[in-house]
Structure 1
Amino acid sequence: MTARLRKLIDDLAESFWLLPALLVAFGVISAWALVAVDREGIVPDWAEEWLYNGGATGARTLLGAVASSTIGVAGTVFSITIAALSLAAGQMGPRLLRNFTRDRGNQITLGVFLGTFCYALVVLRSVRLPDEGAFIPHLAVSVGIALAFVCVATLVYFVGHMSGRINVDTVIGLVSEDVRDVMRTLATDDRQPAAPPPAFWRGAEPIADDRRGYLHQLDENGLATWACEHDTAIKMLVRPGDYVFPGAPIAMIKPLRDGAAEAIRNATALSPQRSTSTDLLFAVRQLVEVGVRALSPGINDPHTAISVLDRLGSALCEMKPLRLQTGVSIKDDRTVLVVPHVRYDELVGAMFHMIRQNAAGKPSVLIRMMEVMTWVVSCERDPARMEAVRKHADLVMRDAERDVASPSDLSDIRVRHRAFADMIAGGPDGTLDAI
């Protein structure tokens, strides 16, 4: 149940409609409340000189103009925005459109326009001509006029906001923030317990799942508690971000206990698409996709790929004091749950493999990739992690020797590779002149 609740919260946080709906509801409730205040006649005398003092016909005209203009501008602006984002998606990838839908500035803009539209309609229905009962909600009409000015300011803000949002450097920055956020969530300062040897699971029984979709949330603590209470051990075969195939084993259990399948089902929540909230590799691949598309022949923008490499290197440098979780849960001094988690070498591979493969014959990108990896090992001195980065530096060098035709360019890459090897061997000397 905890996993499903977390999934619901994530879905609501990333939904485009929630905040605009709340602002629309606020606009309707505010209209009713202000009209009620006008009916009760409790507006202070000193405030009346600042309020709308025209007739019912003028009030209807004003409110009608506010309602028609706000809904018209909202539709036009967002139609143009969707067209611009569609063009941007062709360059940066359609998966990045989610950055538009979950952007608070866009949600607030739509909510302000629609909320003002609904506010004006509710107040408009309460205005009465003399032959209808003569009622003019002066306070509510005045607030409607003020909201019209707020919409003008919001429109100016939105134009500037969107022009920055579809900028490729802004998108790279936003996605790299997602990578750092997920990395901080999945990493820890504490020493992690080691996984039990493979022999520990000899004789374990598989547990199949008839659902399909990406594993969105996993309640590790709840599942570990269940396993501890039932004196068993569970090894999950999938982690958040993995696809669950119907009928395929989702976990192994030793020894088998009644209710194990139901416990695993209750501790997991599936989704038709991947999410960056708990899936570090998906967040990284979104950033890598921008770089790979930039290297395609149709776009041919190595500067964007270089910018992506800089952000990836920055994320690895921030990993220096952190440990990735092993996914091992221990209760009562015994292993009760093992969940596969992202390893450092797997993370580095997700960052560099596809960009290197698509940068064949592009010396500028290969040179920057080598420089970024040199900076990473200048601050990361863990032998296993340095070895994982060394593997990719050697791959870059081999690809360059195969694909780079210019002797001068190949010489530049060799110089960077020697600097990388020197950094591995001796560490930073305080100047990094060779980079």
Structure 2
Amino acid sequence: MKRTWLHLRQISQEFWFLPAIMTVLALILAEAGIKAEETYGVPKGLHFVYGGGETGSRSLLSAIAGSSIGVAGTVFSITIAALSYAAGSMGPRLLDNFTRDRGNQITLGTFIATFAFSLYTLRSVTGSNDQVFVPHYNVTFALGLALASVAMLVYYLAHVTASINMTHVANLLRDDMRDSLMKATLREDPDRDLSVAPPPEFWAGGEVLHAPSGGYLQLTDNELLLKKAGEADVALLLHVRPGDYVFPNSVIAVGVPRLPRDVMDALSLGDRRTVGQDLEYSVRQLSEVAARALSPGVNDPVTAIDVVDRFGDALCSLQDRRWPDGVYYKDHVLRLVVPVTDFSGLTNSMFSMIRQYGKGSPSVMVRMLEVLGTTASCLKDDERRAVIRHHAELVREDALANIENSADRADVENRYRKVLDTLANGQDAEIREAARHAVRQAQGSRVN
């Protein structure tokens, strides 16, 4: 069932989906309007309904159809230009964020639906000697669609300009990342019983499942796998998780004492990674924006700093949440073990690439240490705080090895000591530092 919903969701996000639906609805409305007028006519009291004749309706519908398809071509051109800019400056993986944007789809759908409605209505206008028919309802509705098209054009020009703004893109990717994290993690429960996976020896001698084809693992239906393992009275171990590339004939699962039937029905392979269960994909999209911003051809550390801020936002939102352990029991019997993304792996995906590309940029390295220090004050778990300390050490080491200016090196050392102080003393150190910063700002304001 999850595979079906995944495919339906992917289809619904295609760029052509909403325009196609809107066009079909426009054709249905056009036919319904023609049939209604043929059957009931137009009441005299409806003064807003178009009252012209056959020649005027032909001219009006022709003008609406021609102008709407012409503007649709302009919209296509603007979209292609925006996509080219996005691919060059933010990476080709971000093209999905533009093509699946509902605003872009509705705008294009409005123009195409207006064209289809007007053209279909135009074919029903007749003016022969023995029969004259003017679809007054449809001509009136076509005028309304023309006005809606003008409004959508104004909206689209503003929308597409905002959509290629780096901050806007970073916020969209942050929202995707946050939603994925909230779905993948659980509320912290201090009374929960920890589930422990069996040792590797437990799986020795089990039946092995080889991948029938290659591709990215887009989705894992754990409920279906658990059901199949329970019905077959076996234990199942998955070797891959969403986001991994599965190679043909590679080992993807082991069943003890045997494999349940149709394991592949619960796994969905595709040609590309998708947002959802693949947590690191959303993170890597933001990391790629920062890496491109730090390239010598772009040299935009401000965008990289914006991305680092979004990563700190995501990590602090995990304060009261825990990762699933990936071990599933049913009736106190082990049935399923799946690999899961942990805090360490997520943090590596966030900061490693930016640190490697930005190690010569003092502003980026200083900001990374500041974000790590703030994150350390948000987190309570000792293991997570140890991960933050590890990344702070890596940032300090790379920064001192690549930054020559003594003042910049001193700033790095100062931020690093603040991270250690926060890790040692918790939120109290962060509060004291915020108070000192506020006092310095107040004193500077009085001096000015």
TM-score under structure 1 normalisation? 0.96
Q: Deviations over 1:261-286 (max 9, x none)?
A: x4211111111100012210011000
Q: 2:339 & 2:322 partners in 1: Cα distance? A: 15
Q: Percent identical across equivalent pairs? A: 44
CA contact (8 A) 1:215 1:239 kept: yes
What corresponds to 2:362 in structure 1?
363
Partners of 1:41 and 1:203 in 2: CA distance: 78
Partner residue, 1:82: 80
CA distances 1:203-255 after superposition (whole Å, capped 9, x unpaired): 33321122111111211111111111211111101011111111111111111
Match of 1:432, SS? helix
Greater mean alpha carbon deviation, residues 214-223 or residues 203-212? 203-212
- Letter matched to residue 214 of structure 1: Y
The answer (yes or no) to whether the contact 1:223–1:263 under 8 Å persists in 2 is: no
- SS of corresponding position for 1:340: coil
- Aligned residue number for residue 147 of structure 2: 149
Q: What's the counterpart of residue 383 of structure 2?
A: 384
Matched, 1:432 2:433: yes
Cα distance in 1 for residues equivalent to 2:211 and 2:422: 48
Alignment of 1:221-370 (within 5 A): 221-257=223-259, 260=260, 262-370=261-369
With 243-252 and 262-271 compared, the bigger mean Cα shift is at 262-271
Measured against aligned partners, the alpha-carbon deviations of 1:310-361 in whole angstroms (never above 9, x if no partner) come to: 0000000001111112221111102211110101100000000000000121
1:91-102 to structure 2, matched below 5 A, reads 91-102=89-100
Match of 1:207 in 2: 209
Gaps of 5+ in 1: none
Is contact 2:323-2:342 (8 Å) kept?
yes
Which whole-Å CA distance do the structure 2 matches of 1:400 and 1:218 have between them?
Answer: 40
Residues 15-164 of structure 1 aligned to structure 2 (within 5 Å): 15-47=14-46, 49-131=47-129, 133-164=131-162
Q: Cα–Cα, structure 1 residues 371 and 132, in superposed 2: closer, same or farther, change >3 Å? A: farther
In 1, distance between residues paired with 2:196 and 2:285? 30
Greater shift, 10-19 or 95-104, is seen at 10-19
Question: 1:110, 1:132 → 2: CA distance?
Answer: 40
- Tell me if the contact between 2:82 and 2:160 (Cα under 8 Å) persists in the aligned partners: no
Contact 2:239–2:251 (8 Å) recurs in 1: yes
Q: Is the Cα contact below 8 Å between 1:38 and 1:140 reproduced in 2?
A: no
Residue by residue, what CA displacement relative to the aligned partner does 1:72-103 show, whole Å, maximum 9, x if unpaired?
A: 11112221221232023211111101001110
Question: What letter corresponds to residue 52 of structure 2 in structure 1?
Answer: G
CA distance in 2, matches of 1:10, 1:200: 38
Q: Relative to structure 1, is the Cα distance of residues 132 and 404 closer, same or farther in structure 2, using a 3 angstrom cutoff?
A: farther
1:193, CA displacement in angstroms? Answer: 2.6
For residue 202 of structure 1, report the CA deviation from its aligned partner: 3.0
In 2: Cα distance, 1:141 partner to 1:374 partner = 64
CA distance in 1, matches of 2:386, 2:196: 20
RMSD of the TM alignment (CA)? 1.4
State the one-letter code of the partner of 2:78: I
Partner of 1:187: 185
The Cα shift of 1:198 comes to 2.6
Note the C-alpha offset of 1:42.
4.5
Partner of 2:168: 170
Describe the SS at the equivalent of 2:212: coil
Structure 1: distance between partners of 2:391 and 2:421: 16
Q: Distance in 2 between matches of 1:92 and 1:194?
A: 42
- Aligned residues between the structures: 430
Q: Distance in 1 between matches of 2:433 and 2:332?
A: 47
Q: Which has the higher contact order (CA 8 A, sep 6+)?
A: 1
Q: Distance in 2 between matches of 1:30 and 1:172?
A: 40
TM-score (norm 2): 0.93
